Amino acid sequence: MLKTILAISGKPGLYKLVSQGKNMLIVESLADKKRFPAYGSEKIISLGDIAMYTDAEDVPLRNVLTAMKKKESGEAVAMDIKKASSTDLYAYLGEVLPSYDRDRVHVSDIKKLISWYNLLVACGLTDFEDEDEEKEQDKEAE
């Protein structure tokens, strides 16, 4: 599911991939459902390709979002990220991902993570597991 959810540099929020054209993608805003083209010159990244820095190896974003979902019982994060102090934000991430790299993860990264999570929950997109990974797990179970 996260492979079709995109972040576009310079544009707030998240976008769902609708279609592909020549040198562009047609995307739909998760917030207001408006569709528009996103061109190849813009920095576009799939949430499935994002990972968080940790002390050992990078953890895929889907694992972090799943941990947030478990901590929040599937609800949105109640913390007001605009008013929260950096100490509060780091403490929250420490609860969700205890081994995060304290030198490379910034306050802005945590704010973006929480706002993305809240947007996904508000849109009812809470299945953060990768379909390919689920199929592999099913094969291993057999």
- The pLDDT value given to residue 70: 92
Q: What is the pLDDT along the chain (142 residues), one digit of tens a residue?
A: 788 999 999 888 999 999 998 889 999 999 999 999 998 889 999 999 999 999 989 999 999 999 999 999 889 898 998 999 999 999 999 999 999 999 999 999 999 999 999 999 998 888 887 655 444 444 444 5
Burial of 123 (0-12, 13-18, 19+ CB in 10 A): middle
Question: What is the distance between the alpha carbons of residues 88 and 96, in angstroms, rounded to a whole number?
Answer: 13
**Which residues, 6 or more positions from 75, have their beta carbon under 8 angstroms from its beta carbon?**
121
- The pLDDT value given to residue 141: 43
Q: Name the pTM for this structure.
A: 0.85
Domains for the chain: give ranges and CATH numbers.
2-47 (2.30.30.730), 50-131 (1.10.10.1650)
Angle at 67 between CA 124 and CA 126, to 5 degrees: 10
- The pLDDT value given to residue 22: 84
- The pLDDT value given to residue 131: 57
Pick left, alpha or beta for residue 73 (phi over 0 → left; psi -120 to 50 → alpha; otherwise beta): left
